[in-house]
Structure 1
Amino acid sequence: MSNPVRSTPVLADIIRLEQANAMMRSANLALARDDVATLFALGFSVQHVRELKKKGGFRSSSMAQNIRMITHLRKIGDSYAQ
């Protein structure tokens, strides 16, 4: 039997949030190395790179909030599967 969650927008939201967290972690690593080329490769504009440098990167609380939402969405997905 296939997992019904796979056909719902819930899975797409989970994937989007996981990708966002991966991008934020990559950006923070690039900022720590002062690797502007990687930031540009990740799709950040010059203005956004300046802003990230000024703020010290993405806040860990933003990534934690995404993780909480992923956990919540997985619980929703599990309820669909039952």
Structure 2
Amino acid sequence: MSKPIRASAMPPDIDRLKQANAIMRLANEALARNDVVALIALGFSHQHIGELKKKGGFRSSAMEQNTRMITRLRKEGGAYAQ
């Protein structure tokens, strides 16, 4: 049986997922421009940049999964807040 998520613990999780999505979008845009400087500024190592180039960037499914998790956490937060 899983433990309920505390409402006070959710905002950092939601914020973390939102930040991850934003970084993935920015990284994909930088990859499309071949802007290595921007990728380094986002915190990616040269090795990770090479891997992202090979894969074609972050998959939209990863961002969609984060968005679904944000929605789930918000719904669960509303249930626990009542």
In the aligned structure 2, how far is the partner of 1:30 from the partner of 1:15? 22
Structure 2 spans left out of the alignment, 5+ residues: 1-5
Length-normalised TM-score, structure 2: 0.90
Sequence identity, in percent? 66
Structure 1 residue 81: deviation in Å? 2.0
Number of the residue aligned with 2:58: 58
Number of the residue aligned with 1:73: 73
For 1:32-51, list aligned pairs within 5 A.
32-51=32-51
In the aligned structure 1, how far is the partner of 2:73 from the partner of 2:22? 18
Runs of 4 or more, structure 1, over 3 Å off, are none
Structure 1 spans left out of the alignment, 5+ residues: none
Q: Say how many residue pairs are matched.
A: 77
Structure 1 residue 80: deviation in Å? 1.9
Q: Which amino acid aligns with 1:68?
A: R
Length-normalised TM-score, structure 1: 0.90
Number of the residue aligned with 1:18: 18
